[in-house]
Amino acid sequence: MRHVVTTGRGGVAGDLGEQERFCAAAWPRLVAAVSHHCGDVHVAEELVQEALVRACRRWSHVSRLSSPEGWTYRVAVNLANSAWRRQRAERRAYARHGPPEAVVRSVAVEEQQAVHAALQSLTAPQREAVILRYLLDLSVEQTAELLGKRPGAVRALTHRAITRLRPVLDVTEEVTEEADDVS
């Protein structure tokens, strides 16, 4: 049986099964990527939920893009940036009073925090390039399209970022531009 979702404006958004498959496949990677952008996995989950809802509403357009997942990531980041602009006073108050008492954290959470802190040391363009390339596994071309840059600029950004991250994160493996650069 085929399920069809309407957009609320009388338009048809597409096959529900296709949207469900996309959401299920994209969810974990988007949450991981957005959590590195915003620093909070719970906030990231909310942002990704809203971004996926928007992707489903515009599915007839989004599904034809070269990277629906990249589009959804960009929407989530835009939502985060909008929220941050609205909540400046809250952030300043939090900074004045400091974070709540630390709780015992698992090694995985500590590693995630170390990665987040390291990513925050990058410039915004470097951070975006690394998140898109290595957390979302997008190609150089897809990353370039989403960032509005040329592929060579993306390669340069990721190279500089990895060079900067390597000593901070004690990266011993060589990170290379995979076969997606070979045509």
- Summarize pLDDT for 28-86 with one digit per residue, the tens: 999 999 998 888 899 999 999 999 999 999 999 999 999 999 999 999 999 988 887 77
Determine the structural domain holding residue 113 and report its residue range: 102-183
Tell me the per-residue pLDDT of 88-109, one tens digit each, with 9 for 90 and over.
Answer: 766 675 567 655 444 334 446 6
Domain count, the chain: 2
67 and 120 co-located in one domain: no
- Give me the helices (H) in 39-183, please: 41-57, 59-62, 68-86, 88-97, 107-120, 124-130, 140-147, 151-169
142 and 157 co-located in one domain: yes
161 and 148 co-located in one domain: yes
Backbone angles phi, psi at 14, to 5 degrees: 135, -175
Q: Domain boundary residue among 81, 100, 119? A: 100
96 and 183 co-located in one domain: no
93 and 3 co-located in one domain: yes
109 and 80 co-located in one domain: no
